[in-house]
Structure formats: C-alpha cells, structure tokens
A = this chain, B = another copy of it.
Amino acid sequence: MDVNTRLGALRRKMRKHRIDAYFVPNADPHQSEYAPECWERRAWMSGFTGSAGDLLVGKDEAWLWTDGRYFLQAERQLDGSGITLMRQGVTGVPSVEGLLKKTLRKRRRLGVDPRVVTPARSRSLATALADVGAELVLVDDNLVDAVWTEQPDSPASPMMVLDNAYAGESVANKLKRVRGEMRERGADAMVVTMLDAIAWLFNIRAQDVAYNPVAVSYAVVTLDHATLFTNLERMSGRVRRHLGNRVTTAPYADTAAELQRLGRRKATVWLDESSASRWVLDQVAGADVVSAALPIGRMKARKNATELSGMRAAHVRDGVAMVRFLCWLEGAVPAGGQTELTVATQLEAFRSEGEHFQGLSFPTIAGYKENGAIIHYGVTAASAKKLRPQGIFLLDSGAQYLDGTTDITRTLLLGGRATRAQKRNYTLVLKGHIALATARFPAGATGARLDTFARQYLWAAGLDYAHGTGHGVGAFLNVHEGPQSISPRSQSAPLEVGNIQSNEPGFYEPGAYGIRIENLVEVVQDTAISSKGQSFLGFDTLTLCPIDTQLVDVTLLSDVERQWLNRYHRRVRKTLTPLLRKPERTWLAKACARI
C-alpha cells in the first residue's frame, strides 16, 4: 500500500464524514517526544519519518510542514507522493492556519482527532477557519487508524515496579505531596496525561515507547483516590501488590468515563492545557477546570537523595563504557571497516555490559566530519560515513540504567592534525562549558539567564549555536524533561537544587564538522557563598569521561579554566581506573594527562 493509496483511502473516509480537509499532526494523545509505532500516523500516511512534521490532507492536495533539519529527507521521502513540502521558516511559506485560510471557503470543514491537538492548537485552528467562514470538526474516530491496515497494536510491554532503592520515595508520599498542592489550589481532582509524570508518581516503568521507559496510560488523582488507566494485561502480581489499594487500576479505555464523571460532578479539575489534549478537556466538560502546570513536573525534576546517588552510580558505569569504547575506537578506526553505525552499535554493546542497563536513552548521534554539523543527525545504514583516522567525530549518546539516565557528547579528533580554526572553535565551546559548569547564581534564576555563561566566548568571536544549552534529565525516565532548562526560551521555571541538567554548548560548521561538549550536571546549593539573605546555587558535574585535549588550544584557556580541566580529568581517572582493564587504564591515563 503506497502513500497514494493511503491518501486515497483517507479521502474516502473524509467524504463519509463530509470533511474537506483532515489534519494529521505529529503528536500522540500524551504529547510524547517519542510515540509508540501505532501512533506514528503522520509517518505512515505520508512516508516522511522525521521527528517533526504535520500533515494536512485536502480533497485533491496534501501538504507536509517540517523545519530546516528535515528539508532534504522530506524531499526524498515525499518524492512521488504528490504531497507538497512546506518548508517552515522559509519566507513566504504559510503556516497550517495560513494555508487553511487560503484554501478553505465558507462552510468547508476541517477534521481533526481531538486526542492529538492541545486546546490551544484547536482554538488557533478554529479561529483561522472562522475568519473564512469554515469550521473545525472534532472527529472522535481517528481517520488514519480507520484506513491503516496492519496498524501495530497499542503497546503493552510488561510493567515493572521501580523499587524504593531506586525511586527513593514511596507512592504514598508522592500522592500526599500532590494532594497537598491540590488542596492549595482548591482542586478536587488532577488529570495526569504525560507518561513520565505517571511513571514517576506510581514508581512504575515499562517499555511502551522507545528510549522512554514509560507505559501508555492516564491517571486521575482525587483527594482520597488515585486511578491508573492502562492496559491491565501486562500487570504482574508484583505490580498489583505494589500499587495495592492506594491506586485503583482500570483499562485505558475507561479514562473517558472517569473524566466525564468529574464533569458531571462539577469537580474542580486541575490539568495542564499545554500538554493535555482537547479531547481530555472536552471529556471533563462541566468541571471547573484549573489549567496550570502540574506540580509533578517540579517534584520529579527535584531529585531526592536516592535518585541523586543512583545518578552518580550510573554515571560511573556509563563512564566505564565510554572509556572502554574510546580506547577500542583508537585502535578500530585505523584498522578500518568502521562506520558511524558500527561504532554506535559497539558503544551500545559496551554499555549493555554495565549493571542495571535498560537500553539507550535516545538514538545515538554519531556524526563524522560534515555529518557532525547536522545538529539532529540520525545515522542510517544509507547515510553512515566510514570513519578514517583523521578529522572530527561528534558522538552524542546515552543510556537508561535502573538507577539513572545518562547523556554525554564528546567531540574527538580521530587522527591527523586539527586546523587552527577547529582548535579555536573547540576551545571556545570548552570555555563556555567550563563557565557554565562553574557558574554561581542566585536561587530563582531561570535558564535564560544562565545560557549566556555558555555562549559568551563564542559570541565574542561572532559565533553561536542554534540549540539550547541544557535540558532537564529524568532519573531512569525521559532524557528530556522539564520544566526547567538552560536556553534563551527558559524564562519561567527556575533551576532548583536536585535538578539534573545537561551542559552542552556546541559549534557547527555546515558541510565540515560539528563540535559539542556535553556533561550532565546536578544543581547544588553553594553553602560557602550563600548567606542568610540569599541562597546561591551552582553545578556539580556528574558525567565522567575524558574531554579530548588534542583539540584544545591551551593558549586560549585562562589558568582557572586549565585547572578546571585538569581537576576534572584527575577525578575521571581516579574514579574509573579501578574499574578498567590494563590497556584501558593506559589509554585513560594518556587521555587525562595534564595540559
């Protein structure tokens, strides 16, 4: 069944529903970063597999919007489909709303599944349509599902209990804290739709989604009750005993009935309209809705002592795997036959030998030379470059362990000599990394204010990078989590003690090479400089792996920066050496040599 056949089948369904256009956004009912395959409707319908892109299907035409990262891939994958590529950010290219206003006329109807749009998006679509007299129709049956032959089943991976030895806080206590916040807001019920929030709240994990150890589910918490809606077949007796009588379990499909009950009761319902779907909002119709970020996000981001010590332990294991890999790579590249793909596989193999390994935390980004300049490069068999003992190799990878989540980027000179510009740019990135790692800032500061620490040296040279400087990281949960982050856009959620953040400035020379140096850091209080009047925070670096000094121009480092690097390497060597074999120890000693 090719894309044209699929579009034809969809259009027949559209006619049945008297719909003139159907919107297929790149979203699942839980606004997940990675969706289970059964919900990758846009990819199935259009053939375009990039991680960002919305599809609009009209009666005779279809359009796919995606951003600059994916223009080439989309051109290739949409070829022959008749779908028009809409290049987001290119001057003159209208938005979905803009195109709708141009193509739909009075009384025309746009259909969308209310489960895959936020209330804000549905309002923005409705407003655009109203301008031309057209109408938004929320179609409860997903029309892509209706024509998707061989659509994969809803995921139902085994659910596991995250023991207190890893979670560090009981479900009872988490519920107590959540209910405390509900009482303060005057809420009778809270609807939780984000999968990582539910996994955290109930100390459960699963593998319904790649990389994110979560279960497809909804949760409703009232002041005296909590219900987990999910596929019940995958629940072992152990999980049932863990949830006990504190948490009722119910089939995923029962969510609607429970939400409707809240509406009928005219309950005060707390939900977050920025992540809950229009469908959720409609189900609770009748309720008094309090829309605000759920407290779970902040609670989850402030890791407890158990989670923090688990994160540290996981980073020791991850560092061992990284060092074993880097030592191996030094021999393997000159020996020949390695590609971006084979070395990524090898790195995963080293990681999988570590205790508590649960899989990768995201698809490895392994970009050799010009591929390293593609910020969200996804290596495929077709694109994988052969590695040779020369030039710059960017490697961004991470793993899930029972006790923590890792995310590390190293930029390596595989051999030969780096140019003066490469060394300068690498060193400017490193200086930014160190400035952020050593920054001190008042409690309450948001990530937008800290982002400048990492960019200042690049800016002084007229350089910059087109991504944020750091994202929050879960504890054996999603490698990208909020609410805090370190980026120009992070202007509301302050960093708090116990947050785990990435510190990953970079620089990208298109068509040539990419540089990024990423460690995870923990937000800590600096008790030495904090005073009664004001609490000051800083970072402790968690990641343990040498930073390639071959690419450093030492003359550009201040004494303080050089000392930081040497101290970091001393700590890496001291921590990891006892856990390594002889040749790896030798390699590590060399990699950690003083500069």
By a beta-carbon cutoff of 8 Å, the part of chain A in contact with chain B is 439-442, 445-446, 448-453, 456, 459-462, 464, 488, 491, 526, 528-531, 534, 536
A-B pairs with lowest CB-CB distance, top 9: A462-B529, A452-B452, A440-B459, A491-B491, A440-B460, A462-B536, A449-B452, A441-B459, A442-B464
A123 CB, min distance to chain B CBs, angstroms: 18
Task: Please indicate the chain B residues that have their CB under 8 angstroms from the CB of A448 in the complex.
Answer: 448-449, 491
Q: Which residues of B contact A488 (CB under 8 A)?
A: 445-446, 449
Bound complex: CA A464 to CA B448 (Å): 17
Q: Which residues of B contact A446 (CB under 8 A)?
A: 488
The verdict on A534 contacting B462 (CB below 8 Å), with A449-B448, A491-B448 known, is: yes
Which interface residue of A446, A459, A528, A536 has the most chain B CB atoms within 10 A?
A459
Assembly stoichiometry (copies): 2
On chain B, the residues within 8 Å of A536 by CB distance are 459, 462
Cα A445 to Cα B459 in complex, Å, equals: 11
Chain B residues with CB under 8 Å of A449's CB are: 448-449, 451-452, 488
Q: Is the beta-carbon distance between B452 and A530 smaller than 8 angstroms?
A: no
Query: Other than the known A462-B530, A462-B531, A491-B491, what 9 A-B pairs have Cβ atoms closer than 8 Å?
Result: A439-B456, A440-B459, A445-B488, A448-B491, A449-B449, A449-B452, A450-B452, A460-B529, A462-B529
Name the CB-closest residue of B to A558. Answer: B558
Closest B residue to A537 by CB, please name it. Answer: B459
- Name the CB-closest residue of B to A449: B452
- Assembly CA distance A499 to B459 (angstroms): 20
| Sample of 27 A–B contacts (CB below 8 Å) | A439-B456, A439-B460, A440-B459, A440-B460, A441-B459, A442-B464, A445-B488, A446-B488, A448-B448, A448-B491, A449-B451, A449-B452, A452-B452, A452-B453, A453-B456, A459-B536, A460-B529, A461-B529, A462-B526, A462-B528, A462-B529, A462-B530, A462-B531, A462-B534, A462-B536, A464-B534, A491-B491
Task: Identify the closest chain B residue to A444 (Cβ).
Answer: B488
Q: Give A433 Cβ to nearest chain B Cβ, in Å.
A: 16
Q: Give A225 to B363 CA distance when docked, in angstroms.
A: 61
Task: Enumerate chain B residues within 8 angstroms of A451, measured Cβ to Cβ.
Answer: 449
Chain B neighbourhood of A456, CB < 8 A: 439, 453
- Measured in the bound complex, the distance between the Cα atoms of B53 and A86 in whole Å is 53
Taken together as a complex, chains A and B put the C-alpha atoms of A213 and B446 apart, in Å, by 37
Report the minimal beta-carbon distance from A507 to chain B, rounded to whole angstroms. 12
| A461-B442 Cα distance, complex, nearest whole Å | 11
Q: Which of A450, A452, A456 has the most CB of B within 10 A?
A: A452
Q: Is there contact, CB below 8 Å, between B453 and A440?
A: no
Q: In the complex, A488 Cα to B459 Cα: how many Å?
A: 19
Residues of B within 8 A of A464 (CB): 442, 534
A534 to chain B, nearest CB (A): 6
A441 to B488: give the CA distance in the assembly, Å. Answer: 13
Give bound CA distance, A69 to B488, whole Å. Answer: 31
By beta carbon, the residue of chain B nearest A464 is: B442
Question: CA separation between A536 and B462, bound complex, in Å?
Answer: 6
User: What's the Cα separation between A460 and B440 when bound, in Å?
Assistant: 5
A141 to B530, CA, bound (A): 53
CB distance from A447 to the nearest CB of B (A): 11
Q: Give the distance in Å from the alpha carbon of A459 to the alpha carbon of B453 in the complex.
A: 12
